Structure 1
Amino acid sequence: MLLRSAPRHLHLHLRLRLHSTAAAAAVATPAPPPRPTEWTEAPVSSVRPATADSSLFHVSLDLSSHVDLLASHVAAGQFLPFRLPSAPYPIFLAISSSPPASSAGLAKSFDFLVKRLPGTPSARLCDLRPGDLVHVGGSVIGRGFEVGRIADARDVLVFATGSGISPIRSLIESGFGENKHTDVSLFYGVRNLQRMAYQERFSNWESRGIKIIPVYQDQMINGPVSEAMSRMPFQG
């Protein structure tokens, strides 16, 4: 998930039914100041296609020498700024890996799901090789998803399209959905199966209590979930 400017509002697309109300929504609070005041260098540890058509890429940064940066990632839904050579503007990528605190403190890297758009900084990032250095913010931005606000929900519907699944992976793998009293359904919209990332993780997500409903473009227009998905911008 890529933004050209800092996210002013980080929205968790959740619809839910509570015990006493028909519906509610959880929205993260506004992000801190949009531009980092400090930058640091970190090496790329992995770059590889995330989809069959190579429209999305997995990118990982080795942060074993950046303890403070790792520690600043405390919630799913946070972003990291990138500044790439010759790029006219920084880009902000949602962190797809779970916060270190939810992985027994073993995480020494950040993972990202990047949409490769030719001629953009994101494409340059996808063209890097392991060992290449990139400039990133000295800390993550945003407070992430405030999932505590829906702690009493019986049913939660999560919507994501294209690379927007990136922060949802972080959300799921940090323990969201493991409450046996809450049913969580993930509607994941893509153009076709070749553009669907994280298929290899679906079994694990389902074991965590997430019901996954793939939604393809023709279903968004003509299918039973068209009304729900029509309110979302299609990312690819």
Structure 2
Amino acid sequence: MTVITPSVPHAPFSAPPLPMSILRRLPFPSLSPRHRFATLAAVRQDTTVWTPSPVSSIEIAAESLFHVSIDVSNSPDLVASHTLPGQYLQLRLPDVEKPSFLAIASPSSLAASTGAFEFLVKSVAGSTAELLCGLKKGDVVELTQAMGNGFNINKIDPPEDYPTVLIFATGSGISPIRSLIESGFGADKRSDVRLYFGARNLRRMAYQDRFKDWESSGVKVVPVLSQPDDGWTGESGYVQAAFARAKQIYSPKGTGAVICGQRQMAEAPQIDIKHDDHCLKYA
């Protein structure tokens, strides 16, 4: 089985340490310790480029989840930086010190055609994300260029060699998975592509309106609810348990996996995917 692993940091980047060869060449001998520190700090200052971009729309996607669209049509460098599903960027608000790291939910083709980056944002009390979800159309945020290696689809190509692809996502982890599915990875050319998508209940499950299109592209969607309401007849419990109940992997060597969600799911023995296998893991 094969695994793809871009990762999103959960805290802002810190500047990398300077190579020792550079430090030895800096003209420090005549400076006091305080001035030496000031000079080093100046060398290590943040050089991140932030691009102001207006909010196009903010809509409720599910309970505590918001669909956020940002207009990047006047920023061709920003648009060009998004090339692969699974990439992410930093977003910050005026007068708010801490930025948010957000996975880009839309495929790169959307930005190229309409000039929009779309995100699925979970509103957490007291966070930058909560403030973002409270903005209005026309409010300006600042974005970095897209970063990260994205999902390395080459690890599960060509489709005839990897006819089975299993996708596991929970909660807002469906965001980069949407980008993957809508970017296209030959799902219609494979015999078995399944998305196990977990949420507490249907009220907390985003993108239900897209399921039909995803199915049409060759991805079988298996919703899994951990706390379903009365009357639910689909899969219940956790995604790894739902997978175990209907495993049906006919050729492990011809199987790829994509994982995005809680660590407990990724490390569950029912899934049993190794880092050196063909798995695209987004943790």
Same fold by TM-score greater than 0.5: yes
Is 1:231 aligned with 2:265? yes
Give the count of matched residue pairs: 205
Percent sequence identity over matched residues? 46
- Residue 183 of structure 1 and its aligned partner are, at CA, apart by 1.9
Instruction: Determine the C-alpha separation between the residues in 2 that align with 1:132 and 1:104.
Output: 19
8 Å CA contact 2:239, 2:265 repeated in 1: no
1:220 paired to 2:237: yes
Residue in 2 that maps onto 1:145: 151
Greater mean deviation of Cα atoms: 115-124 or 212-221? 212-221
Match of residue 203, structure 1, among 208, 212, 215: 212
Aligned to 1:110: 117
Indicate which of 78, 90, 108 corresponds to 1:69.
78
Asked if the contact 1:94/1:167 (under 8 Å) is kept, the reply is yes
**SS of alignment partner, residue 209 of structure 1:** coil
Amino acid at match of 2:181: I
Say whether the 8 Å CA contact 1:187–1:212 is kept in structure 2.
yes
Report the equivalent of 2:141.
Answer: 134
Q: Does the 8 Å CA contact 1:95/1:170 hold for their aligned counterparts? A: yes
Distance (whole Å) between structure 2 residues aligned to residue 166 and residue 115 of structure 1:
10
Question: 4+ residue stretches of structure 1 with deviation over 6 A?
Answer: none
Q: What is the deviation of 1:179?
A: 4.0
| 8 Å contact kept, 1:153–1:182 | no
Unaligned regions of 5+ residues in structure 2, if any? 15-46, 228-235, 246-261, 268-283
Alignment of 1:157-176 (within 5 A): 157-176=166-185
Larger strand proportion, structure 1 or 2? 1
Give ranges in structure 1 of 5+ residues lacking alignment. 1-22
Q: What is the Cα-based RMSD across aligned positions, in Å?
A: 2.6
Residues 20-73 of structure 1 show CA distances to partners (whole Å, capped at 9, x for unaligned) of xxx222224899x9466111100000001001x3x1000000111001100110
Structure 2 match to 1:15: none
Q: CA deviation at 1:131?
A: 0.1
Bigger CA drift: 192-201 or 172-181?
172-181
Amino acid at match of 2:2: A
Contact map agreement 1:48 1:57 (CA 8 A) in 2 = yes
Shift of the 169–222 alpha-carbon distance from structure 1 to 2, 3 Å rule, reads: closer
Q: Quote the offset at 1:232 in angstroms.
A: 3.9
Greater helix share, structure number? 2
Summarize the Cα distance change of 1:76–1:221 in structure 2 as closer, same or farther, 3 Å threshold: closer
Which residue in the other structure is 1:192 paired with? 201
| CA-CA distance at 1:182 after TM superposition | 4.3
